[in-house]
Chain A
Amino acid sequence: MIQLRSAGIAIAMLLCAPLVVAQTIDDLSEVSNMSVGELLEQLPQKDVQESPTQEMIRLDLVESLFRRHKIRDASLSPDGKKLAYFELNDDSTRRLVVLHKEQRRKLILRVEENEGQQDIRFLSLHWIDNERIAYRFEIFRTTYLSMSTLQFEDGMLVDAFNKPIGPSLRIMDSLPEIDKLAVVFGPIEKNDEAERELRVVDLTDPFDSDDYRWPRRVRKMLEDSVAWLFDANGDVRLILRVDPKTEVRNTFFWDKSAKQWFDLGEFSAETDFQPVMLTPDEKSLFVITDQHTDYQVLARFDIASRAITETLYSVPGADVVLAVPNPDKTKIVRIGYFQDGVMQFDYLETLGDVVESTVELTNERTNAYVVDRSIDEKTLLIVTDDTDDPGEVRIVDADSGADYFVGYSRPWLNDYQLGKSQLVRSVSTDGEVVESYLTLPQRELAAAPPLVVMPHGGPISVTDTRHFNEYVQYLAVLGYAVLQTNYRGSFGYGKDFLEAGEGQWGRLIEDDIESAVEVVIEQGLVDRERICIYGASYGGYSALVSSVRRPDLYQCAASLAGVTDLILRFHNFNLELHEGLREALIDIVGDPEREKEILMEYSPVYMAERMNMPILLAHGTDDERVDFEHYSRMKLVLEYFQKDAEYLVIEGAGHGFNKISDEAIFLIALDEFLRKHLEVEFPPLETLYLADAVDARLENVEKFRPEPDEEEEGSQAANDDDAGVDDNDADDGPSTVIKINLETGDVTELDQ
């Protein structure tokens, strides 16, 4: 699918992702390369001394939430008999495996292992046909494409051999219905200086695939294109070109019979137009668009007239966000949209019939999704995902109804008492109805829980959902209720709602958020005396602004990578390079020249004198989206006015975490900040874990016990002597070292 507008959930998650932090600027040099174990030693000494167990518990929780998944990137073979996926090993490396469903055999094709000086790291996999799996991996910052060919004896899967294909190659379409062939992007020539190009190649002999070379006229147009759509034969039929200066997007259709390109016209960056497939008669496209409606719909675009001629699928009150064609690209089989914060799939054509007949899928698992299927649509790959369900993977046979459990995505999270979400609707100051999600701690509480209000980033085209969210669960497990509001500007509620958020920084957006807070207070779901607001990026901005707007509502505010100066947003180098981006930002924030006073009025740096609640200010030094200067300015004025504020910085972090140690530093600091100002006691262990998992969990927690250094050990021993503590108890120290893979953020346990 050609993605013409940044509206996907992946982008939303990216923008929402909270970011970085550390101690103070002076501590920065050591932070970025720390392992969790080293990090523990670097934490403020008072914490280690006062409550080391809390640190260990939180580190274990962070690792559980953010470590690599046990099962990842599962994909069915075209015949549906085999499942390929990446599986986590005990040492936190991964292996590429193939599971033969009928033969109950699992074959390890390759493992992430040390080659030279560095571990390889798997990136993606694709079935090329029923016997071949192409997979990409990274080593020394270069990606490689290799292929595993399965070996059978008397029909039994017995072995496989791996063969390298080439560096920097990427599969763009695996063409599962055509043996050996795939559309590949990269340097596809034998010489070392080959230019990257897009081609259909025979992956068993990729550098001698001239038989599949496209006409010169096609190849010429591809040179400046940025996205492509292929037909079932692998021929490129649609390309997107973007003018780097104006951001104007032109889409061209390749008329195969006339052997010429057909200009479908210009689409501005504001226009939503996502081609999904070419109809079999090649006279129209199926596209996701909101050109002629408020909400995104699946529509027919007539190529000859260059116009939308028919709405094919729409959902009242929701944007269609996904439309998936069948493998031969002749029909749409799956439509996706959000309803009440949950992704819904509507299955069409034969797939719809198959799903209807699968009782367990439709009746018992509301958040179960068919994410892959065999060519004949008789075998379905199903994953689950819910607020309190990090996911499981199953294969369902449509004919027999057999349900084959492959495994949990993150089985260790089954140990925790995860929070469960509920839908909240509120009416904002101007009558706009706003949707929010309240996640409550699962355990029974004597009193209403403290609340953390967590506005998402953006503010435009981002959305929160009721799917599993690591940051929400971190807080919920530790005893907080968490409220996420899809304020105006959020994605998924139509064009009008999206545009209603423009220019509303610190105004109607915050009205929306506060309306939701008031509803959950009125319903008695949270403790109205213990509420803080925390967010990242726009969410950080919102937290800072809210500290001035509603000191009656919030007891503290935490900002991570927050925007603090709206005019400074326009001093971004990338923005200065691209005029189109600047214009888009003016729409979202306001005009820094014509509306200078308004932008200043709603910038936190000019409000510091009125910030009369505890503030946590955190930022990464290498943030290219919200420059570190936003942090510096806010800190300067908060210090000038001698406000109650804590400052956290991490060296080398950008506008999001990419290391588990950074996650740990920030989230531990956040919990301490919230706990202190909301006066919340650390929850007892039996309320963190499920009853039958406490022992196993505590065993894992032990690996985070800090290793005392010799001096401390001597001092500790002396103290123990003084206290009359049994020496045997004092010697029962841990013998485990934790290593963080800096590339992946993964934690590895090392034997000493």
Chain B
Amino acid sequence: MRAKITIYVAAIIVLLLPLTAPAQDEFETLGSNDGYLVVGIDISGMSYDYLAIDKRGSIGFSHKFKSETMSRGMNYRIIKLPAGTYYWRRLMGNFRYRLILDREIFEMKVEPGKINYGGDIFINWRWGSSDIRMANRATSAVEYLSECCQHLLGDLPLVYARGGGDPFLDYLATLPNYGITEP
């Protein structure tokens, strides 16, 4: 009986794992043309249905971040994507409200074999007007990655996926024992 309970508990833990932090196995399936995109999504204001990123030049591709999978405040997400240029495409509200974000400033470039930090997006959706902005909060992203998936930081270089790059991430990789792979 005790063994049975142990198995049930173990099974529940295994089932819950993907909901709390990315499983290590998930990150080992990176194809030769794939990279990881890390984004921070800060949510406040009215509720919405989903936030989507599309790929430039690829009709039909869309990755949706459902609001039901995120909490208020900052949410970090890591997704595996084929190399290319992606952009925050739209914020879809409940029913008929939506916000089209398709502008160059919302673009992120995913390079293969790398962890591509796409910046943090801050969404404060209100009646009448919405405040959406982006910021480079790389130190928070590094802190998140260090806690959730240090093995990734140890295996793959971390780069800034928005215009111009960020040499500070390269610098962190040069610090002895800091735990970030040099590009």
Beta-carbon contact of A640 and B167 below 8 Å: no
A568-B105 contact given A627-B136, A629-B139, A640-B175, CB 8 Å threshold: no
CB-CB nearest in chain A for B106: A576
A571-B133 contact given A632-B140, A633-B139, CB 8 Å threshold: no
A465-523, CB < 8 A from B? none
Complex CA–CA separation, A633 to B162 (angstroms)? 18
CB-CB nearest in chain B for A640: B175
Among candidates A567, A570, A573, residue contacting B168 with C-beta atoms closer than 8 Å? A567
Pick out which of these stretches binds chain B: A71-79, A326-334, A592-600.
A592-600
- A636 contacts the other chain (CB 8 A): yes
Complex CA–CA separation, A571 to B119 (angstroms)? 10
Complex CA–CA separation, A326 to B139 (angstroms)? 56
Please name all residues of chain B whose beta carbon is closer than 8 Å to the beta carbon of A568 when the two chains form the complex.
136, 166, 168
Beta-carbon contact of A632 and B137 below 8 Å: yes
CB-CB nearest in chain A for B176: A640
- A389 contacts the other chain (CB 8 A): no
Please name all residues of chain B whose beta carbon is closer than 8 Å to the beta carbon of A629 when the two chains form the complex.
135-139
A627-B135 contact given A573-B105, A576-B105, A632-B140, CB 8 Å threshold: yes
Please name all residues of chain A whose beta carbon is closer than 8 Å to the beta carbon of B163 when the two chains form the complex.
576
Proximity bits, A603-634, B CB within 8 Å = 1, else 0: 00110000000000000000000011100110
- A577 contacts the other chain (CB 8 A): yes
- A565 contacts the other chain (CB 8 A): yes
Please name all residues of chain A whose beta carbon is closer than 8 Å to the beta carbon of B175 when the two chains form the complex.
640
Beta-carbon contact of B139 and A571 below 8 Å: no
Among candidates B105, B119, B162, B164, residue contacting A567 with C-beta atoms closer than 8 Å? B164
Beta-carbon contact of B140 and A573 below 8 Å: no
Among candidates A565, A571, A606, A628, residue contacting B164 with C-beta atoms closer than 8 Å? A571
B82 to chain A, nearest CB (A): 25
Count class of interface residues, chain A: 20 to 34
| Main SS at interface, chain A | helix
- B145 contacts the other chain (CB 8 A): no
Q: Using a Cβ–Cβ cut-off of 8 Å, how many residues does chain B contribute to the interface with A?
A: 20
Beta-carbon contact of A636 and B164 below 8 Å: no
Complex CA–CA separation, A606 to B164 (angstroms)? 18
Beta-carbon contact of A573 and B133 below 8 Å: yes
A212 to chain B, nearest CB (A): 31
Please name all residues of chain A whose beta carbon is closer than 8 Å to the beta carbon of B8 when the two chains form the complex.
none
Beta-carbon contact of A571 and B166 below 8 Å: yes
CB-CB nearest in chain B for A636: B139
A593-B139 contact given A576-B105, A606-B171, A640-B175, CB 8 Å threshold: no
- B101 contacts the other chain (CB 8 A): no
A594 to chain B, nearest CB (A): 11
B116-170, CB < 8 A from A? 119, 133-140, 162-164, 166-168
A600-B167 contact given A571-B136, A627-B136, A636-B139, CB 8 Å threshold: yes
Complex CA–CA separation, A576 to B136 (angstroms)? 12
B83-141, CB < 8 A from A? 105, 119, 133-140
B167 to chain A, nearest CB (A): 6
Beta-carbon contact of A567 and B166 below 8 Å: yes
Please name all residues of chain A whose beta carbon is closer than 8 Å to the beta carbon of B140 when the two chains form the complex.
632
* Residue from A576, A600, A628 whose CB has the most chain B CB atoms within 10 Å: A576
Please name all residues of chain B whose beta carbon is closer than 8 Å to the beta carbon of A636 when the two chains form the complex.
139, 172
B144 to chain A, nearest CB (A): 13
A33-69, CB < 8 A from B? none
Please name all residues of chain B whose beta carbon is closer than 8 Å to the beta carbon of A605 when the two chains form the complex.
168, 171
Please name all residues of chain A whose beta carbon is closer than 8 Å to the beta carbon of B138 when the two chains form the complex.
629, 633
Among candidates B105, B139, B171, residue contacting A632 with C-beta atoms closer than 8 Å? B139
Please name all residues of chain A whose beta carbon is closer than 8 Å to the beta carbon of B171 when the two chains form the complex.
600, 605-606
Complex CA–CA separation, A571 to B167 (angstroms)? 12
- B76 contacts the other chain (CB 8 A): no
Complex CA–CA separation, A568 to B167 (angstroms)? 9
Beta-carbon contact of A596 and B167 below 8 Å: yes
Among candidates A567, A576, A577, A628, residue contacting B167 with C-beta atoms closer than 8 Å? A567
A288-303, CB < 8 A from B? none
Complex CA–CA separation, A527 to B178 (angstroms)? 41
Beta-carbon contact of A571 and B168 below 8 Å: no
Please name all residues of chain B whose beta carbon is closer than 8 Å to the beta carbon of A570 when the two chains form the complex.
164
A229 to chain B, nearest CB (A): 30
CB-CB nearest in chain B for A568: B136
Complex CA–CA separation, A577 to B104 (angstroms)? 9
Among candidates B105, B136, B166, B178, residue contacting A640 with C-beta atoms closer than 8 Å? B178
Question: Which residues does A use to contact B, with CB under 8 Å?
Answer: 565, 567-568, 570-571, 573, 576-577, 592-593, 596, 600, 605-606, 627-629, 632-633, 636, 640
Can you show 10 pairs from A to B with CB atoms below 8 A apart?
A567-B164, A568-B166, A568-B168, A571-B119, A571-B135, A571-B162, A571-B164, A573-B134, A576-B134, A640-B175
